[in-house]
Amino acid sequence: MLEKLEDITSKVIDFFGLLIAILLILMIFNVAIDVFARYIFHSSSIGMQEMEWHLFAVIYAIWYWYALKQDAHVRVDFYMILSKKKDIIFWGIFLCTCILVIMVATSCMALFVLGIGKSQVVCQCVGF
């Protein structure tokens, strides 16, 4: 049962890999036409630029699964050399940093929405 499901999943991923390859070729032509029109004819289409971004999104959202199946994805194993104690410290500092950034950003946005954020030094440093 699981082997049959794996075969079906593999075939679906291979189909999407082929589809993404075709979309990648279409995106290359789309970008080339857009650049040619912009720099030769000094005319650019917003629709063409929007299509570029949409094709980028679809390609990179689906291409990940194909790369994962083909074992061609990029691995980042820098933290594997750490010991368990150092690993816990690393992820603890990372988590605390993320929480602090989220807290500062949301409080600055709240102060800006209330109209009192313009005089706050922290909010000016963050960019609000």
CA–CA separation, 58 and 34 (whole Å): 19
Same domain, 53 and 6: yes
Residue 33 lies in a domain: yes
Same domain, 43 and 65: yes
Residue 120 lies in a domain: yes
Same domain, 6 and 63: yes
Residue 74 lies in a domain: no
Structural domain count of the chain: 2
Whether residue 69 is predicted with pLDDT greater than 80 in this model: the reply is no
Whether residue 119 is predicted with pLDDT greater than 60 in this model: the reply is no
Same domain, 56 and 93: no
pLDDT tens, position by position, 36-51: 888 888 887 888 888 8
Whether residue 70 is predicted with pLDDT greater than 60 in this model: the reply is yes
Least confident of 18-27, 83-92, 99-108: 83-92
**How high is the pLDDT of residue 99?**
92
- Residue-number span of the structural domain to which 32 is assigned: 2-69
Same domain, 37 and 87: no
Confidence at 118, pLDDT banded by 50, 70, 90: low
Average pLDDT, the chain: 78
Same domain, 31 and 58: yes
